[in-house]
Amino acid sequence: MSKRVSVVLQDNVAADLEKLATDERRSQSQMGAILIEEALQARKALQKTETTSLVEDDE
């Protein structure tokens, strides 16, 4: 299931999104969804690495 959300972007970020979407022949909405998903995956991986690092430091 998909959920609709709204975001407000700074002009330069909106321009970057528009260019990237155009370059990849996607809508800005599709490109935004892909970028958010990638960012969330990267954040989860970073948090997992930080947690692992903290556990190793305690040992």
**Full pLDDT tens readout for the chain, 59 residues:** 899 999 999 999 999 999 999 999 999 999 999 999 999 999 999 998 888 776 666 66
Predicted model pTM = 0.79
- Report the chain's terminal Cα–Cα distance, integer Å: 42
> What's the full length of the chain, in residues?
59
Give me the residue spans of the domains in the chain. Answer: 11-58
pLDDT at 17: 99
Inter-residue contact 19 to 28 (CB < 8 Å): no
Residue 57: the pLDDT is 66
What pLDDT sits at residue 52?
A: 78
- The whole-number pLDDT of residue 4 equals 95
